[in-house]
A = this chain, B = another copy of it.
């Protein structure tokens, strides 16, 4: 099998090295690079040349970002080439379009590496769905924020100090907002919901992050037998579904509460198999390219994941609702005191809770909110 890499940054070089060292019967024969960086005989600056090359069976998109990744993925699928990508932003934004093109061409569109790093998460959902309905999922899908919360607890440190250290260690980007504001998790939640529920997932989900989480917040939650984790969640019931991204105050004896450092833990519930959980390192902590390469041996197998987004699931925010704790200067409407400077709002949707948080942030820019699920 002949492969073309689109992009030759850290990920592209990693994919090239792993294929050379560890994958049989596969060669990287073309690499798309900028015109002033053509240092390898396999390199070209012309995507058209790659897409027109009948010897190329599979394209690995290693560029990141929305464009030109979106245009190149579409063109590769239209040309009948399998596509592998770990780019969750472009998949979340254009999943239905990519699937339509892949199905029309009868080629695999492989996205395992976009969620959960080395965890076989997308493959496991697809396997379960063959004989079962997925009714919900939830998970720690971002290693950076898990590392920050873990280190704040372990070291009794404040958010900013831990973030600075995470940036130094390479666990966090220089601009950390995609991680700490929940945007990265939102993309992974959209992709997971699409695969699990067979729906072209809406992008208007309620999203909040952990930017305002303090050491004192963690101490208060610990006194209540909880800690905070940033979770992406989805629920599907009777042709209706909802998704959310928000901090959740999980019970200390749960598996979620005990996930260390930068690991991910993702859970699905299905009607007959029950609860399944998957744990592993996020993509950022694997050797670069590893998460993408895991998909490559699936491309020539004759079977390909078939996603079907033709269903007409209704978005029903009330499917994710419960109690929420707010730490903010002014008590939210209809709240009751929960702890020093913190209030409990009971029985609201994730969407309504996000609106409460916006209101709170308008008077107190340090406000923080976490869902407070009932203990089993």
Contact = CB atoms under 8 A, between A and B. Distances in A.
Assembly stoichiometry (copies): 2
Interface residues on chain A, size class: 35 or more
A131 B274 contact: no
Interface string A260-297: 00010100000011111111110001110010011011
Contacts of A274: 118, 280-281, 285-286
Given A302-B301, A302-B302, A303-B303, A131 B22 contact: yes
Contact of A132 (B22, B253, B279): B22
Interface stretch (A41-49, A119-127, A230-238, A360-368): A119-127
A278 B277 contact: yes
Nearest to A257: B258
A373 B182 CA distance: 37
A276 B128 CA distance: 18
A303 B302 CA distance: 8
A286 B132 CA distance: 12
Nearest to A21: B131
Contacts of A220: none
Interface of A: 18, 22-23, 118-120, 123-124, 127-128, 130-132, 253-255, 257-259, 263, 265, 272-281, 285-287, 290, 293-294, 296-297, 301-303
B272 A280 contact: no
Output the residue of A132, A255, A257, A302 with the most chain B CB within 10 A: A255
B281 A275 contact: yes
A224 to B, nearest CB: 18
A120 B118 contact: no
30 contacts: A22-B131, A22-B132, A118-B128, A118-B274, A120-B128, A123-B123, A124-B124, A130-B294, A130-B297, A131-B293, A131-B296, A254-B258, A255-B258, A255-B259, A265-B277, A272-B290, A273-B280, A273-B281, A273-B290, A273-B294, A274-B285, A274-B286, A276-B278, A276-B280, A277-B280, A278-B278, A279-B279, A301-B303, A302-B302, A303-B303
A24 to B, nearest CB: 9
A292 to B, nearest CB: 11
Contact of A286 (B18, B23, B120, B273): B273
Contact of A18 (B22, B131, B265, B301): B131
Contacts of A281: 273-275
B255 A131 contact: no
A276 B118 CA distance: 8
A132 B293 CA distance: 11
A274 B296 CA distance: 19
A129 to B, nearest CB: 10
A119 B270 CA distance: 12
A127 B127 CA distance: 13
A18 B258 contact: no
A18 B296 CA distance: 32
A50 to B, nearest CB: 24
A251 B311 CA distance: 46
Nearest to A24: B130
A277 to B, nearest CB: 4
Nearest to A289: B272
Given A120-B124, A277-B280, A301-B303, A287 B258 contact: no
Contacts of A128: 118, 120, 294
Contact of A258 (B127, B258, B263, B302): B258
Contacts of A253: 258
